[in-house]
Structure formats: structure tokens, C-alpha cells
Amino acid sequence: VYAGTINGEGTLTLRATKAASDTVLAKIIRMVGDAHARRAPVEQWVAKFARIYTPIVMALAIAIALLPPLIFGGAWDYWFYNALVLLVIACPCALVISTPVSIVAALTASARAGVLIKGGAYVEAPGRTTALAMDKTGTITMGEPEVAAVHPLGKASAQDLMTLAAGLEARSSHPLARAILAGAEADGITVSAAEDTRTVPGRGLEGRTDGRSIWLGSDRFAEEKGFGDAIPKDLRDRIEGAGSTLVAVGDGSGVTGILELRDRIRPDAKDIVAQLHAQGVKTIVMLTGDNERTARAVAAEVGIDEVRAELLPEDKVTAIEELVETHDMVAMIGDGVNDAPAMARAHYAIAMGAVGSDAAIETADIALMTDDLGKVPWLIGHSRRTMSIIHQNIGFSLATKGVFVVATAFGLASMWGAIAADVGVSLLVVANALRLLNSHEAKVPPSGGEQVGPQMAEAALAHGH
């Protein structure tokens, strides 16, 4: 039942799943509110500079008011007037407001584009990105896998396998879970949620149904349970060779069957990776828990530099730590719980498709509210444009102040000129910063996508990716 729903006739019994303060909308509102409290490094630099700049200006004003009359016998009222002119023109208003106005405009433009940035510190970071790590499912691929085939082992039927798998995945929001549930619905299976379900991060799910223990997960999960040999090698090779994902389903006695799931690569993924390279991102790494042959097939198709496959959440953390040691600015793109530890270790983290994902909103420094990977190159460009405008504003403010300070020292500036210059520079830097509000347009991602297939996998292996 959605907020604002009006009950017509009849009685409804509703169960609240969250308090209002824990909803995704409430978290987004808090995140936007907190964004202005996190200052960018350039803002901190301006604040430090102002603390040094102000005493120097005061000292110069005192020197201009006192030294010429005392040393050269100048008129007191004339040089006192010049000192006041200096104080007016040297007022750091334009300098101080140039950065925060630019940051606020950048945050506003990004929010309009569906990119929520948690503060000024993360406006600056994307523009300096040298390495980018990303998950495969839902990031490079569409995140909409389908059950391509069901392979029963032993006495179990295909319907038995789908019933067990759908029961375990009934309460999960993982892309593979959605695929299994959609497959069960297409087969006309009535899903009954398993009891005592437990997620094993990076491996699979466990639960109980009809008094017996059941599980599903990767082939590694099956091996950890002591059933690795129960998966026929030719079947494993065929599934991985086709670029598909293997999901084993079993109970306490062994593996009862295999599900073969296949995803589609985002149609714009290759172009986006090329854009990122063109923007100076030197290393793009795929971190995935999927099998290596499938991962390398996808990476070869889209032009990714490095592949690290069959990773557990803790392995992703290690991979990010290695990147942080060798690169100046490392970003991690993920989609929630399994990627959260690795996202926390990167210099900054981006969450894909944050709508509906509490973990993504809580973990990430930047949240993409849709699944449009094209927002990442836009974000990097937006960051660089923001920093360029900030540097323009700082340079223009300081140059103008410098010219008038020198003119005042020689008695060439008037009070009206100083006031006009101070207000004029302030208005100009604000107007320049507001140009960022026009940079929120982002392209619409194309639909469809190329399905990962055996030819793609063979090509990847042939090229040694």
C-alpha cells in the first residue's frame, strides 16, 4: 500500500515494515541535508587562506594610514581615506563565497541529474579519479538475468528445483533472486517462502522447508559444503563456457540440480568504458564473485583492463586496498550489501540504482538514483567543470583585489570605485558559479543489451583476457 492511498470500501489490515524515519525517502532527505556540512578540500583551503589574508590586509591598511603621514608628511585625512578604501576593496567577500556557491550549484545540478552527492568533499574527488573498480552484475550487465536452463541431478525434477530455489529467494532482492522468482512464476509454480533463511555473503542462501535443510549458491558454496564433486565437470564447463552463471541447488544430502542464469551486457557499457579511459581513468577493474570465464568474457567485450573473479566480499576489500596503494584516487561502484566493505575502503564509493536500496544509500558517498552507468562519466566531467569554475572564481577575485590594492597604495582608487569593484566581483563569481546549474542534462540509457554467450567467452579466452 503506497503512501497517499485512499481506502474505498472494505477493511484493510496493514503491516508497517519500517518507521517513517527509516524509509529510503527519509534517508535521501537526510543525505541531501548533510551534504552541505561536508566541506570540499578547496573550501577548507579558502577558509585557511582567509584566516591569513585578513590580518595581512589589516596590517597593510594600518601601514597606509600611518606611514605616509609619519615618514613623508602626507595629509592624515587623505591617507586615512585610502586605508578605508583598501579595507573595502580587500574585503574577501567574493573570495569566500566563490567556492561554497559553486559547490551548492554543483550539488543541485547533480541532484537534478539523479546523482546524489554526500557533500562538497565528493564533488571534487571524481575529477581526480585514476582507478575505478566495479561489480559486474547490475553495473556492467543489465542486472536482469534470466533462467536460461534447469539441469536436474538425480531424482529431482526441473519443477522441484525451481520450487526449492524460489522458496529460498522469496524474500531476497538480489538480481539472481528476481530471475529465479520470475522463472518460477513463468512455470506456474506457487512460491512458498522457506523458513529460517540466512544469507551467506558472497556464497548463497540457506534455509529450511518441510523440515529439511536446503541451500543454493555458487559452485564454491557447494564445495564448502563438501558437494563440489557432485557437479558434473562437463556441465560446469558448458555453463561457464557459455558465459552464464552457475547456481547449485541442494539439501543436506548433496546437490539436487543446477540452474543456469544468463545476463545481458549494458548496450552502452563499451562506450562508457571508452569515455572513462578518455577522461584519464587509467585502470578499470571488474570485481565479481562470478566464475572467471564468464567475467573475462564480459570484460573483453566492454574493454575493461583487469578482471578479478570468484571473489568473496573480503577478497574485494583486499583488491581495493591494493588499488589504493598504487593509485591516487580510487572509486568503487557497487550496488549494496556484498560490496559495502570494499566501497568503504575506496577513496570514494558510488552506489548504482540507490532507489530502494538502503545499504547503497548508507554506504556510498555518491548515489546514482537509477541504473544508468552513463552517469559516471558525466559525474567526472561535472566534477572537473565545478573545480574549473571554482579556480576561475578564486583567480579572478584575487587578481581584482591585487590590482585595487596596488592602486590604493599609490592613491589611485576611490571609495566608490572600491565599493563597485567589491560588489561587482561578488556578483560575477556568483553568476559564474550558477552556470553549473545548466550542467544537469544526462543522456537516456539505451535499452536492450547483448546477451553473454559462448562466442563472447571463446573470444575472451582466445585473446587471453
List, as one string, the DSSP characters of 50-73.
HHHHHHHHHHHHHHHHHHIIIII-
In the DSSP assignment, the letter for residue 141 is B
C-alpha cell at position 442: 544526462
Task: Kindly give the pairing relationship between strand 264-265 and strand 283-287.
Answer: unpaired
Residue appearing with cell numbers 567574493: 94
List, as one string, the DSSP characters of 140-167.
TB-S--EEEEEEE-TT--HHHHHHHHHH
How far are the Cα atoms of 182, 215, 289, 327, 411 from residue 221, in angstroms, in the given order? 23, 9, 11, 33, 81
CA distance 463 to 113: 38
100 close to 43: Cβ distance less than 8 angstroms: yes
Q: Which residues contact 271 (CB under 8 A, 6 or more apart)?
A: none
In the DSSP assignment, the letter for residue 127 is G
452 - beta bridge partners? Answer: none
CA distance 50 to 92: 7
Q: Which burial class, exposed, middle or buried, applies to 385 when counting CB atoms under 10 A from its CB (0-12, 13-18, 19+)?
A: middle
Residue type, 158: A
Residue type, 139: T
Q: Mark out the alpha helices in 285-357 (DSSP H runs).
A: 292-302, 313-326, 340-345
Residue type, 429: V
C-alpha cell at position 313: 566480499
CA distance 133 to 345: 11
Nearest to 458 by CA among 196, 174, 302, 243: 243
- Asked about 135 being catalytic, the answer comes back as yes
Residue appearing with cell numbers 561536508: 38
208 - beta bridge partners? Answer: 195, 213
Nearest to 103 by CA among 386, 440, 388: 386
List, as one string, the DSSP characters of 207-242.
EEETTEEEEEE-HHHHHHTT-GGGS-HHHHHHHHHT
- Say which of 22, 34, 77, 135 is annotated catalytic: 135
Nearest to 50 by CA among 119, 97, 110: 97
- Which amino acids are annotated catalytic? 135
